[in-house]
């Protein structure tokens, strides 16, 4: 958390606010979010203008003029907040890590409460190499159900773990992996290679469905996530299994269970997601 829908929501909110604006200087408040010395980072971005704002997986990509990008991984609690002027008082972010002071007088602030996120300047070529190491985008029309099934059939990992591996598919985190597996009727601990062709097609459809609906709702806020306007996402109320352990399943009424494996919680309905192959 944040995952693909939260990053995409940020991108759409940031684009009209920062594209075409130039960086006067970068103020580094917490250098531990950087991947290079603070002085090198400040020098690399000084005077550069934002050409575009995009997304790759869970990363917000701030494209710079001439060459290079600022790649922002949101970690657990990161977000990017634009302001037309430096905020003060109650409007000021409580945990700013990097502040981009813009030539126009406004600012773009990377806030990260727990500071698991990263802010990194890369050349365009270096970013292309990094991006190539990630899996396909699940909402890309070129990513087919057959691609998903083929990838899963080569893995012994649990289905939930496979979906979380950014080398296999980009942008999926624990929230949307659990939700998609529920919609597809696949237990999170089932081996990925046991997923049948029809199940894989349902999972492909479920991934696209839940991600699209989450983007439309502005993402999911469990605790800290805020969009570019500082507002929480609205998808939490639509979650079917994630965080709902002990509650009845909306479909069959059985109690949703929390399962811990690979050091992370998963959520499943024992009626709709049996451990053995096959739906219900």
The pLDDT of residue 279: 44
The pLDDT of residue 90: 75
User: Which segments of the chain have a pLDDT < 50?
Assistant: 278-280
The pLDDT of residue 227: 80
The pLDDT of residue 277: 66
The pLDDT of residue 189: 98
- The catalytic site residues sit at 2-3, 58, 264
Whole-angstrom distance, CA of residue 249 vs CA of residue 240? 7
The pLDDT of residue 280: 42
E-strand ranges in the chain read 23-28, 50-56, 59-64, 69-73, 78-83, 96-102, 107-112, 118-122, 257-261, 264-268
Contacts with 65 (C-beta within 8 Å, 6 or more apart), sequence order: 48, 49, 50, 51
């Amino acid at each position: 958390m944040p995952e693909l829908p939260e990053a995409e929501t940020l991108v759409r909110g940031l684009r009209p606010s920062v594209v075409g604006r130039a960086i006067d200087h970068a103020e580094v408040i917490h250098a531990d979010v950087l991947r290079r010395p603070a002085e090198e980072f400040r020098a690399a971005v000084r005077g550069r203008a934002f050409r575009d704002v995009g997304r790759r997986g869970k990363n917000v990509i701030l494209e710079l003029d001439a060459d290079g990008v600022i790649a922002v991984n949101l970690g657990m609690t990161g977000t990017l907040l634009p302001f037309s002027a430096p905020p003060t008082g109650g409007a000021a972010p409580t945990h700013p890590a990097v502040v981009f002071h813009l030539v126009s007088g406004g600012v773009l602030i990377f806030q990260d409460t727990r500071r698991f996120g990263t802010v990194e300047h890369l050349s365009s070529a270096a970013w292309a190499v990094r991006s190539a190491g990630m899996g396909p985008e699940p909402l890309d029309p070129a990513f087919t159900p057959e691609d998903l099934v083929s990838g899963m059939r080569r893995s012994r990992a649990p289905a939930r773990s496979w979906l979380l591996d950014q080398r296999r598919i980009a942008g999926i985190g624990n929230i949307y992996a659990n939700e998609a597996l529920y919609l597809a009727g696949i237990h999170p601990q089932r081996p990925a290679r046991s997923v049948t062709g029809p199940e894989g097609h349902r999972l492909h459809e479920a991934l696209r469905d839940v991600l699209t609906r989450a983007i439309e709702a502005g993402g999911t806020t469990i605790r800290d996530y805020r969009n570019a306007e500082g507002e929480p996402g609205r998808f939490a109320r639509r979650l079917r299994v994630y965080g709902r352990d002990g509650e009845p399943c909306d479909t069959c009424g059985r109690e949703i269970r929390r399962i811990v494996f690979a050091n992370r919680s998963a959520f499943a309905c024992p009626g709709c997601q049996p451990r053995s192959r096959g739906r219900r």
